[in-house]
């Protein structure tokens, strides 16, 4: 597939800006890509990858990687992104991660490891949920089992497909500081948490008004998600 054929709009409003941050990297053949927390579904589908790509899936859960489609990964690494693996140092042109960094216990160590794993000139692009999103605050007070049962019942979430979250340093200020030493970086706050309240229309309406207020008043530390980019 030519890079021009990669979709530019997606149903999920987070996906377009995320893909735009690495679209040009997919023009070069023979690149090495690391997908952090790739699990059962690689972030970059096999048909989008340029010829000669070496695509590595890293995940703490080997059983998640094992159920991915057969052509998903050229290599898998089972491990915690927070634990340094010297064999990965300086190997990658691009590192991507979709909805994983809110699950890690030590965000600083995880981000530092992505920097080590990039080649000079390489780029890291990640989407993660924010520490102060309403759903993140609820996750802190409602035990995991109860949350999972509620999400399965009201939102149709498949049991066993949600992972424990830590939301360590998942705020605008903390992310901006963590990436401050990189050659270049960007932290983009996004506000898109209404789906969690879909089963209760009046709660959803109130919540959407709250999100509009967050945007208007630039409460970047209360964003529901962050798109982060770091250039080594």
Ligand X SMILES: C[S@@+](CC[C@H](N)C(=O)[O-])C[C@H]1O[C@@H](n2cnc3c(N)ncnc32)[C@H](O)[C@@H]1O
Q: Which residues bind ligand X (CB under 6 A)?
A: 37-39, 41, 43, 59-61, 64, 80-82, 98-100, 103-104, 163
37 vs 230 by CB, closer to ligand X: 37
Give how far the C-alpha of residue 108 lies from the chain's centroid of Cα atoms, to the nearest Å. 15
Burial class (CB in 10 A: 0-12, 13-18, 19+), 158: exposed
Smallest gap from Cβ 30 to ligand X, in A, equals 24
Smallest gap from Cβ 216 to ligand X, in A, equals 30
What distance in Å separates the CA atoms of residue 140 and residue 8, rounded to the nearest whole number? 35
Annotate 79-92 with b (16+ C-beta within 10 A) or e (fewer): ebbbeeeeebeebb
Q: Are 73 and 32 in contact (CB under 8 A)?
A: no
59 vs 211 by CB, closer to ligand X: 59
Strand, coil or helix: 120: strand
Q: Are 126 and 187 in contact (CB under 8 A)?
A: no
Smallest gap from Cβ 48 to ligand X, in A, equals 14
53 vs 165 by CB, closer to ligand X: 165
41 vs 185 by CB, closer to ligand X: 41
Element (H, E) at 230: strand 225-231
User: Nearest to ligand X by Cβ — which residue?
Assistant: 39
Q: Are 13 and 35 in contact (CB under 8 A)?
A: no
100 vs 190 by CB, closer to ligand X: 100
Smallest gap from Cβ 80 to ligand X, in A, equals 4
20 vs 69 by CB, closer to ligand X: 69
Element (H, E) at 206: helix 201-216
Smallest gap from Cβ 77 to ligand X, in A, equals 9
Smallest gap from Cβ 71 to ligand X, in A, equals 16
The strand order across the sheet containing 32-36 reads 75-78, 54-59, 32-36, 92-98, 118-129, 225-231, 184-190
């Amino acid at each position: 597939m030519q890079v021009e054929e990669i979709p530019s709009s997606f149903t999920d409003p987070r996906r377009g800006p995320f893909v735009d941050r690495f679209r040009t990297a997919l023009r070069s053949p023979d690149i090495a890509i690391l997908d952090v927390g790739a699990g059962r579904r690689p972030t970059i589908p096999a048909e989008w990858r340029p010829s000669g790509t070496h695509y590595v899936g890293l995940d703490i859960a080997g059983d998640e990687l094992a159920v991915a489609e057969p052509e998903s990964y050229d290599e898998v690494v089972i491990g915690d992104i927070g634990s340094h693996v010297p064999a990965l140092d300086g190997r990658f042109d691009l590192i991507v991660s979709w909805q994983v960094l809110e699950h890690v216990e030590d965000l600083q160590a995880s981000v530092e490891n992505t920097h080590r794993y990039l080649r000079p000139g390489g780029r890291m692009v990640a989407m993660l949920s924010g520490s102060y999103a309403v759903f993140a605050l609820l996750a802190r007070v409602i035990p995991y089992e109860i949350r999972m049962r509620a999400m399965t019942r009201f939102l149709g979430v498949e049991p066993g497909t949600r992972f424990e979250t830590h939301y360590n340093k998942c705020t605008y200020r903390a992310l901006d500081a963590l990436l401050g030493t990189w050659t270049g970086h960007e932290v983009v706050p996004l506000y898109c948490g209404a789906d969690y309240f879909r089963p209760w229309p009046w709660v959803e309406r109130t919540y959407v008004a709250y999100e509009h207020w967050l945007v208007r008043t630039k409460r970047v530390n209360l964003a529901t998600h962050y798109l982060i980019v770091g250039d080594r």
